[in-house]
Amino acid sequence: MEQYIPEVLFYLFLFCFVVQMGFLLIQQCRLAVYRLPEQDLSAVQLPVSVIISARNEAQNLVKYLPAILGQQYPTFEVVVVNDCSVDDSHHILLNMSENYPHLKMVTVTEHPRFKTGKKFALTMGIKAATYEHLLFTDADCQPASVNWIAHMAANFTGATEIVLGYSPYVKAGGFINAFTRFETLKTGINYFSAALGRNAYMGIGRNLAYTKSLFFRTKGFASHLHILAGDDDLFVNRNATPDNTAVELHADSFVYTDAKETLQAYYRQKKRHMGVGGLYKNKHRRMLSLDAMAGFLFYVTLGLCLHYHMQPMVIAAAYFVRLITQVIIYKKSANKLTGKDLIWFLPFFDLLYYLYLNVFGLIGTFIKTTQWK
């Protein structure tokens, strides 16, 4: 029986290679070849409600909220949900509202018996919003330009009800920052490419827009209110269609935030996010699981085939064909998503990415998170 193990590993490696090349050449290349459309921002006039849920974010509100309140856009309001904060958030928002009349504060108080999460806070913010078109971000985020709202709102044409934006992490020193930025880049390549292929499956709540009527027509977060995370990706996964979803990729539309600085903080963040993947639509679960397993097994069988000296020239050729294809496609996408410096780390980070996907996928399946902040 042992004599067949190397041969089985070799054919499994080839299968994973074909699957990975399929993802690269059929799916992920869509973002690489995508051309940004011309936008006449002066023609964008529809009113927008920006909604932010903030729990104990006093320092971040002082630091980042003025950039959102100071957007160059004709008609908009900023609805900040003060979600059970015990810091100075309430007083900071009151003081800001004196200088910014388009700032609206909604207060959620802690109930001694019933704990509320971000989805409840966002629902309160949506109910309080004046306008039909809603734009979401977080209290620790800063738009790349004063035209952030305009770029996102420009996509609400025709049947569009959802607009997917991008939120990269601020570049800083250290391994955690570099890998977090790479993981965000690869995630962006995947979900933007899927959306461009009329198969959107997720969005990022730090930069996401949709209509108020869509939210209430589909009963908002009701179907997954019991899940801590998923206010962004689960909502998009449940409600995106081939015709109602657009993407916004202009660099001025990006929203930046700081990456976690410690492994413990990064672990807590990713454990919370990865637990919702099992609730995606079946076709999206199968697609993402196939990519995750094929990527992981590609590296495992690569090492084992080399260990058994099984067709080393074929193995090496397949590895470099995949790597070169990745570099070509990812470089073009990274130029759009401000991550071109990360391409140098592609061989190592790609291996680590697939290990991370499978490890956190298992953690998210068996360990549930009970708090969002």
pLDDT digits (tens, 9 = 90+) for 316-347: 999 999 999 999 999 999 999 999 999 999 99
Q: Two tokens at 39? A: 């936008």
Q: Two tokens at 213? A: 């009527």
Which pLDDT does position 367 carry in this prediction?
A: 57
Q: Where are the alpha helices (DSSP H) in the chain?
A: 5-22, 29-33, 58-69, 89-99, 118-128, 148-153, 175-196, 212-217, 233-239, 263-274, 282-307, 312-336, 346-366
Which pLDDT does position 112 carry in this prediction?
A: 63
In contact, 49 and 134? CB cutoff 8 Å: yes
Cα atoms found within 13 Å of the Cα of residue 88, Cβ hemisphere only: 9
Which pLDDT does position 274 carry in this prediction?
A: 64
Does this model's pTM top 0.95?
no
What is the Cα–Cα distance from 81 to 26, expressed in whole angstroms? 41
Which pLDDT does position 356 carry in this prediction?
A: 87
Mean pLDDT by 10 residues, the chain (373 residues): 83 98 97 94 95 96 97 97 93 95 93 76 96 98 98 97 97 92 96 98 97 97 82 94 97 94 71 72 94 96 94 96 98 95 95 88 57 53
Helices (H) and strands (E) in the chain, counts: 13, 9
pLDDT tens, 299-319? 999 999 999 999 999 999 999
In contact, 203 and 239? CB cutoff 8 Å: no
Which pLDDT does position 371 carry in this prediction?
A: 53
